Amino acid sequence: MPPVLWIGALRVAVYPNDHRPPHVHVIGHACEAVIILDRVTGTVVLRENYGFATRELARIARALVANLAALLSAWESKHGIR
């Protein structure tokens, strides 16, 4: 799955045929997190975390918020939503 964003060495992916709400998978360092993209509030919400430290999750959240519009666009494009 090609990444839609890199956060340092962490790969951010949108899986095809995935479910709502719009979300991304952040993968790296033998860890993975699933983070919901909230267009209404302009924030992100952690749904699942498998191994990332709290400090790393905060860094990830800042990067995702900074790229929220592009990430939502990628999610919508992959799922045929315009």
DSSP 2-14: --SEEETTEEEE-
**Helix 68-78 crosses helix 54-66 at what angle (to 10 degrees)?**
80
CB atoms within 10 A of CB 45: 13
Average pLDDT, the chain: 95
Q: Kindly report the pTM of this predicted structure.
A: 0.94
Query: Between 29 and 6, whose confidence is greater?
Result: 6
- Rounded average pLDDT over 34-47: 97
What pLDDT is attached to residue 51?
98
